[in-house]
Amino acid sequence: MTPPRDPHGIGVSFPCARSLAQLACDFGGDTTQPHVLVDNVAAPKYANHRSLVPIFRASALKNLRDAAAVLVSPELVDKAHGYAPWRHPFAQFALAHLLTTLAPQRHPPTRSPHAIIENGVALGKDVTIGHGAVILAGAVLGDACIIEPRAVIYGSVRLGQRVLIGAGAVIGRPGFGWASGPDRQRIRMPQLGGVEIEDDVEVGPLATVDAGTLKPTRLRKGCKLDAHVHVGHNVEVGQYTLVAAQSGFAGSATIGNHVLIGGQVGVADHVTVGDCTKIAGKSGVIGPIPAQSVVAGYPAVSRLRWLRAVATLMRGRS
């Protein structure tokens, strides 16, 4: 089932027209033109005279040709003059709630007959398991978890409630740990600590989360991992942290709460990243990062310092 399309453009239609006053009442915010009606939500380029258009940055206004109203943060209201404003201090959050009400409802929880669920798996209520998924004996899945097709859950994994494991993800495989001995021999270090994933975590497709050695690898409540993210053994990712695609965390790294991590970031082993830090895409973190930092580059340093260094380098080449 697909979302309802706006027949006059490319957007998502409402079941019936709604006033800005109704939207503000249901989702928060305020408006100076409460009686304006909208019947769809659309991107600036595809909007029509009945559209509600979300505007999260001033540059998006250059593509706006027609709209009934705009959803904006307070600092953008003056720049979006000429359109009825629905002003909201958390405009993206409001849009997410609105689209959630318009999205197709998920099918009732199902367990595919083509999934492999070994004896000894503990399943909570309303768990959904997709085609080709593999869940090994000993795994524990909390209520309302969703395991997408071809995901693999090893036996040492414990999932909280409402955890989503993306298609093809692998959770709980033994981590990449080796011990050196005489004559440069190497033997695998057993990884017996498992994985603990708390409530409301999302692990993207083809991501991997390795089992810990003596303690669990942990994904704390509400954190979100994009596709192709790798979490090494003994790593801890904090609450509500967001990690973009293709980032990786080496063994025993600790990532704080509410951290924002761009795509293709690498974090070295045993490094600690403080709470509320922002790490720019393609950065390489090889040392501790204090809380509330904004860093970029390799090695990752203050973003302003990195920008100055890049500017100096480019001047030297001109």
Given a contact cutoff of 8 angstroms between Cβ atoms, the answer to whether 298 and 316 are in contact is no
Candidate list 49, 228, 233, 258, residue with the active-site label: 233
Question: Residues 244, 250, 252, 255: what is their CA dihedral angle, to the nearest 10 degrees?
Answer: -20
Provide φ and ψ at 64, rounded to 5°: -90, 120
If we measure between CA atoms, which residue out of 276, 152, 135, 278 comes closest to residue 203?
152
Q: Is 81 labeled as catalytic in the residue annotation? A: no
Nearest-CA neighbor of 171 among 134, 142, 223, 119? Answer: 134
Helix (H, G, I), strand (E, B) or coil at 93: helix
Estimate to the nearest angstrom the gap between the alpha carbon of 15 and the chain centroid. Answer: 29
End-to-end, the C-alpha distance of the chain in Å comes to: 55
- Residues known to be catalytic: 233
